């Protein structure tokens, strides 16, 4: 029996997990929901450290600095670049491990709805590079690693992109009270990943021959 991989894409708090679970329920288990199984980012507290580092950098961008302030600015910038790459590298490795489990389900003929695919990571990583949270050198290193490791890996048969405005996302983040996300809901936070449309995500997915 042919199995299908459905990827639910979208921003933080867009409703990806909710839709993934709903697909399993509505199909009576013909499609199983697949949430992140190995989340080393949360396990090691990286997410909060990342948000703190990049938010501190954002607050200093564009400010006039005296000679004494420059060294402090460089420390903040280097911390943002460290955590910017660290978090994407860790997400990639975690989702790669998840992909091994997911691949087994597909081989057994089980269709799967996945909460965020590994292919979306490329968009978030590029966004971090644009915001100067990841250096150009580290971004090139990430792309080389992704290209090398992802050969012949399963790709989505269908991508469902959940679009939501930033105000609604912030409201949901406040409502679910996850401490590591609280910085994103603050009024002064300007960093929001615009994932784009389903077609932009599809452009990151290369089908295996």
| Residue 109: predicted pLDDT | 94
- CATH code, domain with 154: 3.40.50.300
Cβ-count burial 59-80 (b if 16+ within 10 Å, e if not): eeeeeeeeeeeeeeeeebbebb
Length of the chain measured in residues: 209
* Distance between CA atoms of residues 89 and 41, nearest Å: 10
Query: Which residues lie across from 114 on neighbouring strands?
Result: 7, 34
Q: What does the pLDDT average to over 187-193?
A: 54
Q: Among the listed ranges 41-50, 89-98, 130-139, which one has the minimum average pLDDT value? A: 41-50
Is a pLDDT exceeding 80 seen at residue 5? yes
Supply the pTM of this predicted model: 0.78
pLDDT of 6 > 60? The answer is: yes
Q: What is the side-by-side strand order in the sheet with 31-34? A: 31-34, 111-115, 5-10, 158-162
* Model pLDDT, residue 184: 61
Does 209 fall in a domain?
no
29 φ, ψ to 5°? 90, 0
- Condensed to tens digits (0 to 9), the pLDDT of residues 28-58 reads 999 999 887 656 777 788 888 888 899 889 8
In a domain? residue 160: yes
| Residue 125 domain flag | yes
Domain tally, the chain = 1
Q: What are phi and psi of 7, to 5 degrees?
A: -105, 125
Structure tokens at 97: 């491990």
Distances (CA, A) of 160 to 23, 39, 180: 12, 22, 26
Q: Is residue 207 part of a domain?
A: no
DSSP summary character for residue 183: G
Asked if residue 208 belongs to a domain, the reply is no
pLDDT reported for residue 62: 75
Which domain range does residue 120 map to? 5-202
Lowest mean pLDDT among 53-57, 141-145, 184-188: 184-188
Is the residue at 22 inside a domain?
yes
> How does pLDDT run across 145-179, given as a tens digit for each residue?
999 999 889 999 999 988 888 778 778 777 776 66
The answer to whether residue 44 is domain-embedded is: yes
Residue 164, domain member (yes or no): yes
């Amino acid at each position: 029996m042919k199995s299908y991989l459905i990827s639910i894409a979208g921003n933080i708090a867009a409703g990806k997990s909710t839709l993934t679970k709903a697909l399993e329920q509505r199909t009576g288990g013909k499609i199983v929901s697949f949430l992140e199984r190995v989340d080393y980012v949360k396990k090691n507290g990286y997410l909060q450290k990342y948000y703190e580092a990049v938010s501190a950098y954002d607050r200093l961008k564009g400010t006039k600095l005296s000679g004494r302030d420059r060294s402090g600015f460089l420390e903040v910038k280097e911390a943002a670049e460290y955590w910017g790459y660290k978090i994407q590298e860790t997400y990639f490795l975690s989702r790669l491990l998840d992909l091994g489990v997911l691949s087994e389900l597909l081989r057994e003929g089980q269709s799967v709805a996945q909460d965020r695919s590994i292919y979306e990571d490329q968009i978030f990583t590029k966004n971090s590079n644009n915001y100067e949270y990841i250096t150009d050198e580290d971004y090139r290193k990430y792309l080389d690693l992704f290209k090398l490791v992802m050969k012949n890996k399963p790709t989505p048969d269908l991508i469902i992109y959940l679009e939501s405005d930033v105000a609604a996302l912030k409201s949901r983040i406040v409502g679910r009270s996850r401490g590591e996300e609280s910085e994103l809901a603050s009024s002064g936070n300007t960093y929001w990943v615009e994932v784009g449309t389903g077609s932009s995500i599809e452009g990151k997915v290369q089908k295996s021959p």
